[in-house]
Structure 1
Amino acid sequence: MGASFATHVLFLLWFFAATFSLSLFKAESNISCIEKEKQALLIFKKGLSDPRNVLSSWSDQVDCCRWDRVHCNNKTGRVTALDLNGFQDHNKSLFSGVYGYEKRLGGEISPSLLELEFLNYLDLSYNNFNCTPIPSFLGSIGSLRYLDLSGANFSGLIPHQLGNLSSLRVLDLANNPNLYVDNLRWMSHFSSIQYLDLNSIDLHREVDWLQIMSKFSSLLELHLSFCQLDSLKPFLGFVNHTSLQVLDLSYNLFNHEIPNCFFNLSTSLVVLNLEYSLLKGKIPPSILNLHNLEYLLLLSNHLVGKIPESIGQLKYLKSLELWYNSLSGPIPSSIGNFSYLEELFLSNNQLSGTIPESLGLLSNLERLFIDKNLLTGTVGEGHFTELSKLKTLYLSNPLFFNVSSNWIPPFQLDFAYMSYCKVGPNFPTWLQTQKSLRVLQMSKSEISDKAPGWFWNWTSNIQVIDLSRNHIEGDISDAVLNSTVLNLNSNHFKGRMPQLSANVKELNIADNSFAGPISTFLCLKRNRMNKLIILDASFNLLSGELPDCWKDWQSLARLDLGSNSISGRIPYSMGSLVALQTLHLENNNISGGIPSSLQSCSQLELLDIGENHLQVTIPLWIGEMTSLMVLRLRSNGFHGHIPLQICQLSSLIVLDLANNSLSGTIPKCLNNLSALAKPDNGGSIHFGYLPYAYSMYVENLFLVPKKKQLEYFDNIKFVRLIDLSSNNLSESIPVEISVLFGLHFLNLSENHLTGAIPEKIGSMKELESIDLSRNHLSGEIPPSMSNLTFLSQLDLSYNSLSGRIPLSTQLQSFDALSYTGNPQLCGDPLPKTCTVEEEPSNRTPIGRTEDHSEKYSFYIGLGVGFAVGFWAICGVLFFKRTWRHAYFRFLDGIKDWVYVTTMVKVNWFLEKLRSCHLISERHR
C-alpha cells in the first residue's frame, strides 16, 4: 500500500508546512485572532467534554492564535485550522499515543464553528462523540478543504449537506461502522475531491456507487473497504479515471466475476486492493491495462484458473498477493520479469508443476510465499541466484530441495518455513551460514541424520525451531537450549532431557527416546530459573517418581508427561502450578490418589490421569474445578459412587470414567452440565490463551468415541462425550440425561443398568454414537430414537429389550449385531419377524383376529381390483393411438345418438302436451 502511504505523507507534509509557518507566526507575529472567532471557539469548547484537558490552553486571557491545536493565517489572524485528532497528546507531536475512547474529546459540536469563515482544515478524528449523528451544519462551512471525522464514533445517516462543501480536497469518514448512506448523489458537487475514505460505512443502499465515483476526475485515492458493496459491474459508457492512483474495495460482498472492463477504470492505478471480497472466476486478461500498477491485492477470494502467463508485463509490480484462492496450473515463468517485485504471495492455492527457475532473477524480492500448493519437482541453487535481499521464505510443499553440501546461499533469512520439503537425508549444512534467522521450520523434511555439533550453539539466537516428525538422532543431554519455542517431537533423540535457559517457553520433545528419572530434569539447578509455559515429554522412556520441585515451574500452563514409566504418587506440591491449564499424566504407573492441592489450579481445563493405578474414590472437591472442560480418569481402580459434585462442572464437554470399579447410580443431576446441554460448533470452546508469539503447540487427547481409540488434536473442542462404560453402575438410566442436547457420544455399556431406555432419548439429536450394550435394560426401544439422524454407531446388544425395532432409515441401517442378545426383540435388521402379539400397538381381543383379517382382505382386494381395472382400460387407451381414436369416435357416436334420441322424445312429448291443451280449450 505504498502509494496510499505516499499520498498521506503529501497531505501531512502540506499540513506540517502550514503548521510550521503558523508556529513561527505564533512566536514572532503581533497579529491577533479575531475576537468573534475567539468567542466562537470558547463556545465550541464549552460544548465538549475534555477528560485529558487537551484544550486547557483555550483561555479568554490568551490570544486564540496561540492556543494548542488552533492555527491562524499569519497575515489576517483568521482561524484556518483546528487539529483535534484524538491520537495526539497535547504536549507531543502527531500520532504519539493511543488512548481509550473514554479519555478522548466528546460531547456536542457547537454550530459556533460557522463563525470561522476561513476555516479550511478540521480534524476531529479518533475522538468519542458517543454514536451521535454528524452535525449537518458542517456542510455550511464552505471554506473547508480538509475534513476528517474518521474513528470518532459517529452514527446514523451521513447528512447530505456535506455535499455543499464543493472545495473539499480530503474527506475522511472512515471507521465509523454505525454510519450509513441512503444514496451518494449528494456528492455530485465534489469537483475538487482528491482523497475520499468511507471505509466501514454501509453503502449497500446506493447501487450506482461506481457511476457516481467515476465523476470525480481529480480523485487520487478512493477507500471503500467494509462497505457492504455487492457489485463491481460498471455502467454503460463508463468514463475512465485519469488520475486515480489508489483504489481499495476490499472486504466487500461482490460474489461475482471481475468484469473484464473493470480494469479500464484507470490506467494510472498504482494500488488495487480487492482482497476478501468474494470474487469468483478467472483473473481477466484486461488486468494488463493497469501497466503502472505496483500493488495488486486479490488475496482471500474464490478465484480459479491459471495465473496469466502475460502477467509479467506488469513490470512495475512491487507486491503481488494472490494467496488463499483456488488458482491452479503452473507458476508463470514470466514472473522473472518483475524486476521491482518485493513481495510474492501465492500460498494456499492449487498451483502445480515445478517452480520456474526465473524466480531466481527477482533481485529485489524480500518475501516469498509459495507454500501449501501442489508444487513438485526440484528446487536448486539456480532458484536463488539473485535473491540477495530475500528475508522470508515460505516453501512448504512436497519439493526436493537439492543443493550441494558446500552451498552458500546469497540471502540472509529471517524466516524459513520449509516443512514437507525433502531437505534430507543429510542434515542441511547451509543453515549455519544464516546469521539473522529467527524462525526455522523443517518439520517432516525426511532428515535422517545426526544433529551436528555446531547446531545447538547455532540455535542459541533463533526464537523458533521446529524439526518435528523427522528421523534426527543424537544425545542432547549436555545441550543447553535457548530458543523460545523448540519442537523436536517425533524424532530419535536419546539420553537425559536437555538443559534449559530462562528464554525457553515451549519445549516439545514428545515421541523420542529420552530416558532416566524425571526428577533429574525437574530438579536440576540450572533449570530452576526457567520460564517454561509448555512442556510435552510424552511418549518417552522417563522413569522414577514425580518430585517435589514444582515450585520452580510456576509458569507452566501445559504439562504432558503421559505414556512414560513414571511411578509413585502425584505430589502435593503440584498444586503450586497455579497457571496450569492442561495436565496429562495418563498411561504411567502412578498410584495413590489425586491430591487436594490441585484445587489451587483454578485455571485447569483438562485433567487426564487415565491408565494408571489410582485405586481410590473420586474426590468430592473435583466439583470446584469450575474451568474444567475435559475430565479423563478411565482405566484406573476408582471405586465408590460417582460424586454428585461432578454435576457442578458446567464447562465440562468430555467426561470419561470408563473401565473403573465405580458403583451406585448414574447421577440424575448430569443435566446440569450446561456445556453439554446445548449444541455448539466449537467456537466458544478453546483452551487457554498463551501469552507469547509463535506457539505451534496443539493439545491432544485419546478418546474411545466409537469403540476405537482415536487421537484428537484441534478437534477436541468439537467433541461432546460421556463414557461410563465397564463399571458396576446399577439401577436405571436417568431420564434427565435426555436434555443433554449437545452430546455426541454416549457409552454406558458393560454395567448393571436396569429399566427402560429413556423415552425422550431421541431429543438428543446431535448423538453420533450410543452404546448401551451388556446391561439389563428392558422394555421397548423408544420410537423417538428414529429421530437420531446423525447416528452412525449403535449397540444395544445383550440386554432384555423386547418388541419391534422402530421403523426408520437410521435404525434399520445397522446390522443385526447392534441388537443381538435381546431374545424378545424383533423386526429388521434381525432375522426374527414380529407377530401381531409382539406388536403392542396392533393387539386386538381374542376371537376377533379372523374377522379383521377377512375385512382387511376384502378392502385390499377391492382396492387392487379397482386399480387393475382402471389402468387396464386407461393404460391401453394411453399407449394405443388407434384404440384411443376408435374409443373417442365411439364416444362421439354415443353422444350423437343420445342427443338425437333425446330431442326426438322431447319433441314428441311437447307435441302431446300441445294437443291436450287444444282439446281442453275446445271443451270450455
Structure 2
Amino acid sequence: MPLFSVFMKGRGTHFNFHLWLALQFVLIAFTFGIGVENQSVRCIAAEKRALLDFKKGLADYDNLLASWTSEDEECCKWKGVGCNHTTGHVLMLDLRPRFNYDDYDRSTSWMPLSGEIGSSLLELKQLNHLDLSFNGFQKIPEFMGSLTELTYLNLSSNSLTGFIPQQLGNLSRLLYLDLSNPYQMMSDNLEWVSRLSSLKLLKFGSTNFTKATNWLQVIRSHPTLSILHFEECDFPEVDPSSLSKTNSSNSLSVLHLTSFSLRPSAFPLLLSISSKLVELDFSYNDILSWIPDSFDNTPYLERINFWQNNLQGGIPKSLGNLCSLKELNLGNNKLSGALTVAVKHLSGCAKDSLEILTLGINRFNGSLPSFQPFSSLRELDVEYNRLSGHFQDNFGNFSKLKVLNFDGNRFTGPFPDLSRLSSLRKLSLRRNRLEGPLPVRIGNMSQLVLLDVSSNSLHGVISEAHLFNLTKLRLLFISFNALSFNLSSDWIPLFQLDYIDMSSCELGPKFPSWLRKQTNFSHLDISHSNISDTIPAWFWNLPSKLMFLNLSSNKFGGSVPNLPLKFDYNPSIYLSWNLFSGPIPTFLSNSTVLDLSNNMFSGALSFLCMKEESRLNYLDLSNNLFSGRIPDCWSKNWRLSVINLENNNLSGVIPTSLGSVEPLESLRLRNTSLYGEIPNSLQNCTELKLLDVGENKLTGGIPSWIGERLQSLIVLRLRSNEFHGDLPSTICQQQFLQVLDLSLNNISGTIPSCLNNLTAMAHLGSSDITIQYAFDQVDADYRGDSNSDIHISANFDDHLLVIWKGVEQEYGKTLGLLKVIDLSCNKLSGEIPKEIASLRGLISLNLSTNMLKGSITGVIGQLIALESLDLSANHLSGEIPQSLSRLSFLSVLDLSNNNLSGKIPSGTQLQSFNATSYSENPGLCGAPLRKCPGDETPNPPNTGSMESDEESFEPLWFFTGMTAGFLIGFWGIFGSLLVNRSWRHRYFHMVKKSADWIRLTVALNMAKLHRILRLRG
C-alpha cells in the first residue's frame, strides 16, 4: 500500500487527494541529502553505537536488522538507515517490514520487531524521519518529545497501549504524525497537539479521548493542520456553546472520522469545522440523524463518504449545490423517499461535476429517474433499494459511464437495451424481476468486463451474437434464470473469463465445448445445468488459480482422473449429486471445501492421509460406495468444521485421531457399519453442534463426558446401535440440545428427572431456523479490477434424518426448529419424570417400547407445543390425564399396549384419533373406544299405569299409522290408474279441465283488477 494512499472503506474507492503531501516528503528527503544503503560517506561513530544500542533492546524475529553489525563500519549502508551525503549524520530510520500492506491484518500477532524503543535514539541529533510502523512496540516513550528535529514520525500498526505522552507536543517541526494502532491508547487532552505548530497530517486510531473535552476546539484552532484522521476513537459530548468563540479552521481540508459512535449533536458541528474542506469521511459510524442541510458552508468539497451509518430522511438540496463535488457515497444507510426527488436535489451545479454516486443499500423507492443531466457520471450504484417499475434507459448518451449497479431492486419488464453506453465496464442487475430474453445488442458493449444478470426471470436463448464482441469480458453471472445456450460445437469465444457463473441455466445435454478455451478461470459454476455427459479429459487440466468449482446436480458420469494438479489457493470443490465413480484423486485433497456426496465414488479414504497438513474446512463424502476403515490420520486435517461420511460401506472403529480436530462442529458417521465404543478423544471436540453415529454397531455405555464436555451440542443422535447401561444424568447439562435420539439401543435404568435442565427445549420457538456453520474459504473479489484474493465466509446448513410422526424424514432448512426426544425401543424402567413436562418447546416425545410404569404425569398438558406423543408398549397404568386434551397441536398420539384404565378425557382433540391409538388397554373406555359403563341412554321411569304406557308409545303408533295410510292411499289411486285405461283417461281429463278453470279464473280476476285501478287513476 503506498505510504500516503487512503483507502475509502466499503466501496474500494481510493482517495488520492493528498498525494501532494507525499511529494513534499520526497522533496524534503532530497533537500537534506538522504542517502540509503549505497552512499560512500562513513557514518558518525557515536551514532553507530547508538544504533547498535537501540538494536540490543529489540527482539528481531525476521532478522530485519541482520545487516547491523559492529564489524561493518558503514552504518549508513545498514538496512533502513539513511544518512546525509555530506555530514554523515543519520537523518532517517525506516524500520517498516517489507510486505504487502494491502493484505496486512492488524488482528494477527505477527510482529517483526518488538521490545522497547531505546533512548539511545537521542544520540541521533539530526534525525528527522522515524518510521517504526507495522511492528510490535507497546509503548511510546516520553523521550521522543526530545527528538526535536523530527519532521516525520510514524508509529502506526503497532501494539501501543497506555497514555500518549504530551511531550510529543515539543516536536514543533513535525509535519507528519501517525499514531493509528489496533490497541487502545488514551489521551486526557489534545492541548499538546496545539503546540505542533508545523503539523500538516495527524492520524489517531483506537484512542480514548473521552476526557479531552476540548478536542474539537483544538482541531478548529490549529493553524496548519490540513489532514486529520480519527479511526475507532472515543470522544465526549460536544457543547456547542463552547465553540462560540472559536473560529472554524482555515487550514483543514481532509477530515476522516471513521468506525466509532459519533453522537448526532456533533454531526452538524463537524460539518462546519472548516470552510476549506475538500474531503470528508464519516464512514462506519453510528450516526442516527438526518443529513443537515448546511453544505453551503463547505463549497470546496470534492469527496463525501457517509457509508454505513444510520442516516435517515432524504438528501438535502445543499448537497446539490456543491459545484466541485466528484464523489458522493451515502450507501448502507436508512435514507428513504422517492429516488426521483433525491436525484432532483442533486441536480444543482453538482450534476456537472459528480463522477461517482453511491446510494446503494438504502430505502429509496419509486421508479427509475432520469440521470441524463449528470454528464460527468462514471459510476452509479443504487443497489438494494426498493425501486420498481420497468428498468428504462434513462442515462442518455453517457460517454464516461463505466459502472452501473442496480442489484437487489424490484424492476420488472424486459431487459433494457443499454448498448448506447459504449464505455460501460460493469453492468449488474442481479436479483430483480426482469423477464424476457437477453437483448442481442448486448454483444455490442465491447468494453464490458463484468456482466451480472443472475437471479432474474430471464428466458430464451443465448447465441454467439450475444457474446461475439465482448472481447474484454472477464466476469459472467447469468445463474438462476431460464436461459439456454445455443452455441456451435466449434465456436471459440474471444474472451478469457475469470468468473463463470451459469448455475441453473440450460447448458446440456452435452458438455459445453467452448469451455475448452477458458483456461484462466478462478470460479466456475455450472451446477443444475441439465448436463448428462462424461466430462472430457481436457477439462480436468484445471487452472492453477482455481478457487471455486461447482459441477453438482447434473448427470456427469465416469471417473475423475488422478492428475498431478497444484493450485495457488485451496479451492472449494462441489461435485455432489452426479454419477461419478472410481477412487478419489489425490489433488482433491488440496481443497478448502470438498463435497462429493451422492455419487458412486468407491475405494478407500487414504487420500485424506496424503498431505502433511490439510486446509480442509468442510468434507462431505456421504452416500457413496467407499469401503474399508476410516483412516486414523485426522490430525493432518485439524481445521475441519464439518465431516460427513454417512451411508457408505465403511467399517472398523471410530478413529481416535478425530479428537484432534478441535474446531469440529458437525460429525456424521450414520450407517457406516462401525463397531466398538465412542473414543474418549472426541471430548476434545468441544465445538460440536451435531453428533450423529446412528445405525451402526457401536457398543459400550453412553459416555458421561458427552454432557460434561460437549456443551455446544444441538443434535445428539445415537439411534440404532448396541449401547447399554444407564442414561447418564450429565446429559442434562446440554443447555442447547434440541434433538436427543437414543432410540433402538439397550439402554436401561430410569429417565433422569433433571431433563428440565435442557433449557433449549424449555423455550417455545427457536433462535435459529437451521443449524448453520460458517468458516472462511478463499474466493476472489469479483467486484474489483484486480485479482487479489480475499477470504469470504461460507455458510452451510446441516440436515438430519428424524423419525417424525412415525415416518423417517430429512430436515435441513428447518432443522433448528425441531425439538425432539426419542428414547424408544430401549429397556428403560421406572416412572416418566414429571419434570419432563417443563420442556414447553418440545414438539415430539417418544418413550415407546420400554418398561416404564406408573401413571402419565397429570401436568403433561404443559407441553403446549407437542405435535407427536408416543408412550406405547410400556407398563403405564392409571387414567389418561385430563390436561392431555388441551394439547391443541397434537396430531399423532399412541398410548396403545399399556395398562391404562378409566375414561378417555372428553374433548375434540383426543376423540379425533383412531381407536388404535388406545388399543390393548383393557381398562380404557370412552370415544373412540367402547362406551364406559353408565354411558347408555337411561329408560324413562315406569309409573305402572296402562294409560301412561299408551301415552309413551303414542308417537310411535302415530308415525307408523301415518306411513301405512300414505302407502295404501297412494298406491290405491296411482295403481288403479296404471291398471285401468279408462280411469286413467278420465283422471287426466279432469285434471286438464281443472287447470283450464284455474287459468280462466285468474285471467278474469286480473282484468277486473286492472279496470278498477284504471278508474281510480
TM-score tier (shorter):
0.7 to 0.9
SS at match of 1:85: strand
Q: Tell me if 1:490 matches 2:612.
A: no
Q: CA separation in 1, counterparts of 2:831 and 2:776?
A: 43
Q: Tell which deviates more after alignment, 539-548 or 504-513.
A: 539-548
Cα drift, residue 413 of structure 1: 1.4
Contact between 2:182 and 2:205, CA under 8 Å: does it hold in 1? Answer: no
Q: CA separation in 2, counterparts of 1:596 and 1:440?
A: 42
SS at match of 1:426: coil
Find the counterpart in structure 1 of residue 322 from structure 2.
241
Q: CA separation in 2, counterparts of 1:526 and 1:606?
A: 27
Letter in structure 2 aligned against 1:101: Y
Letter in structure 2 aligned against 1:682: D
Contact between 1:794 and 1:814, CA under 8 Å: does it hold in 2? Answer: no
Select which of 712, 717, 722 maps to 2:811: 712
Q: Tell me if 1:228 matches 2:310.
A: yes
Find the counterpart in structure 2 of residue 585 from structure 1.
669
Query: Residue deviations 1:212-262, cap 9 Å, x none?
Result: 235543322222333422210657x99743332222222222344324333
Cα drift, residue 443 of structure 1: 0.9
Find the counterpart in structure 1 of residue 601 from structure 2.
514
Cα drift, residue 446 of structure 1: 0.9
Find the counterpart in structure 2 of residue 848 from structure 1.
none
Q: CA separation in 1, counterparts of 2:733 and 2:489?
A: 61
Letter in structure 2 aligned against 1:508: D
Shift in CA distance, 85/330, structure 1 to aligned 2, threshold 3 Å: farther
Cα drift, residue 12 of structure 1: 1.3
SS at match of 1:124: strand
Contact between 1:401 and 1:422, CA under 8 Å: does it hold in 2? Answer: yes
Shift in CA distance, 136/255, structure 1 to aligned 2, threshold 3 Å: closer
Find the counterpart in structure 2 of residue 86 from structure 1.
179
SS at match of 1:179: coil
Query: Residue deviations 1:258-314, cap 9 Å, x none?
Result: 24333425313222212222233332x243332322222222223222212334544
Q: Tell me if 1:353 matches 2:436.
A: yes
Letter in structure 2 aligned against 1:19: F
Q: CA separation in 2, counterparts of 1:615 and 1:64?
A: 74
Q: CA separation in 1, counterparts of 2:865 and 2:401?
A: 51
Shift in CA distance, 152/507, structure 1 to aligned 2, threshold 3 Å: closer
Q: CA separation in 1, counterparts of 2:260 and 2:521?
A: 41
Q: CA separation in 2, counterparts of 1:238 and 1:826?
A: 81
Cα drift, residue 328 of structure 1: 2.1
Shift in CA distance, 219/345, structure 1 to aligned 2, threshold 3 Å: same
Select which of 113, 125, 132 maps to 2:204: 125
Q: Tell which deviates more after alignment, 666-675 or 765-774.
A: 765-774
SS at match of 2:435: strand
Query: Residue deviations 1:441-491, cap 9 Å, x none?
Result: 111111111111222233565332211111111133655665633221111
Q: Tell me if 1:658 matches 2:740.
A: no
Q: CA separation in 2, counterparts of 1:81 and 1:712?
A: 65
Letter in structure 1 aligned against 2:408: Y
Query: Residue deviations 1:592-635, cap 9 Å, x none?
Result: 43344434544444321212233544334433442433221112
Query: Residue deviations 1:566-613, cap 9 Å, x none?
Result: 334445565555554432221233334334443454444432121223
Shift in CA distance, 222/544, structure 1 to aligned 2, threshold 3 Å: closer
Find the counterpart in structure 2 of residue 332 from structure 1.
416
Letter in structure 1 aligned against 2:513: T
Select which of 211, 221, 246 maps to 1:141: 221
Q: Tell me if 1:458 matches 2:542.
A: yes
Q: Tell me if 1:380 matches 2:467.
A: no
Q: Tell which deviates more after alignment, 163-172 or 18-27.
A: 18-27
Shift in CA distance, 18/442, structure 1 to aligned 2, threshold 3 Å: same
Find the counterpart in structure 2 of residue 251 from structure 1.
332
Contact between 2:145 and 2:171, CA under 8 Å: does it hold in 1? Answer: no
Q: CA separation in 1, counterparts of 2:522 and 2:663?
A: 28
Shift in CA distance, 309/259, structure 1 to aligned 2, threshold 3 Å: closer
Q: Tell which deviates more after alignment, 639-648 or 473-482.
A: 473-482
Q: CA separation in 1, counterparts of 2:273 and 2:589?
A: 64
What TM-score comes out, normalization by structure 1 length? Answer: 0.75
Q: Tell me if 1:320 matches 2:399.
A: no
Find the counterpart in structure 2 of residue 17 from structure 1.
23
SS at match of 1:123: strand
SS at match of 1:196: strand
Find the counterpart in structure 2 of residue 896 from structure 1.
none
Q: Write the mapping of 1:244-643 to structure 2, written as runs, cut at 5 A.
A: 244-260=325-341, 261-265=344-348, 266-267=350-351, 268-283=353-368, 285-311=369-395, 313-333=397-417, 335-396=418-479, 397-458=481-542, 462-476=546-560, 478-479=562-563, 484-500=571-587, 503-516=590-603, 518=604, 521-522=605-606, 532-546=616-630, 556-572=640-656, 574-575=658-659, 580-614=664-698, 616-626=700-710, 627-643=712-728
Q: CA separation in 2, counterparts of 1:560 and 1:215?
A: 63
Q: Tell me if 1:111 matches 2:195.
A: no
Q: CA separation in 2, counterparts of 1:2 and 1:291?
A: 26
Cα drift, residue 179 of structure 1: 3.4
Q: CA separation in 2, counterparts of 1:238 and 1:468?
A: 50
Q: Tell me if 1:171 matches 2:255.
A: yes
Contact between 1:781 and 1:802, CA under 8 Å: does it hold in 2? Answer: no
Q: CA separation in 2, counterparts of 1:745 and 1:531?
A: 39
Q: CA separation in 1, counterparts of 2:849 and 2:231?
A: 63
Q: CA separation in 2, counterparts of 1:818 and 1:157?
A: 73
Contact between 2:189 and 2:211, CA under 8 Å: does it hold in 1? Answer: no
RMSD between superposed Cα atoms in Å: 4.2
Greater share of helix residues, 1 or 2?
1
Letter in structure 2 aligned against 1:357: V
What TM-score comes out, normalization by structure 2 length? Answer: 0.69
Select which of 124, 137, 151 maps to 2:231: 151
Q: CA separation in 2, counterparts of 1:482 and 1:272?
A: 42
Shift in CA distance, 148/450, structure 1 to aligned 2, threshold 3 Å: same
Q: Tell me if 1:795 matches 2:902.
A: no
Letter in structure 2 aligned against 1:290: F
Contact between 1:344 and 1:369, CA under 8 Å: does it hold in 2? Answer: yes
Q: CA separation in 2, counterparts of 1:242 and 1:835?
A: 96
Shift in CA distance, 62/540, structure 1 to aligned 2, threshold 3 Å: closer
Contact between 2:176 and 2:199, CA under 8 Å: does it hold in 1? Answer: no
Contact between 2:411 and 2:432, CA under 8 Å: does it hold in 1? Answer: yes
Select which of 756, 766, 772 maps to 1:671: 756
Q: Tell me if 1:700 matches 2:799.
A: yes
Gaps in structure 1 of 5+ consecutive residues: 31-49, 70-76, 88-98, 839-924
Find the counterpart in structure 1 of residue 824 from structure 2.
725
Shift in CA distance, 571/818, structure 1 to aligned 2, threshold 3 Å: same
Cα drift, residue 401 of structure 1: 1.9
Letter in structure 1 aligned against 2:456: N
Cα drift, residue 654 of structure 1: 2.1
Select which of 681, 685, 706 maps to 2:767: 681
SS at match of 2:208: coil
Cα drift, residue 151 of structure 1: 0.9
Q: CA separation in 2, counterparts of 1:545 and 1:136?
A: 69
Letter in structure 1 aligned against 2:332: Y
Contact between 1:494 and 1:514, CA under 8 Å: does it hold in 2? Answer: yes
Q: Tell me if 1:736 matches 2:835.
A: yes
Query: Residue deviations 1:881-911, cap 9 Å, x none?
Result: xxxxxxxxxxxxxxxxxxxxxxxxxxxxxxx
Contact between 1:106 and 1:128, CA under 8 Å: does it hold in 2? Answer: yes
Contact between 1:142 and 1:165, CA under 8 Å: does it hold in 2? Answer: no
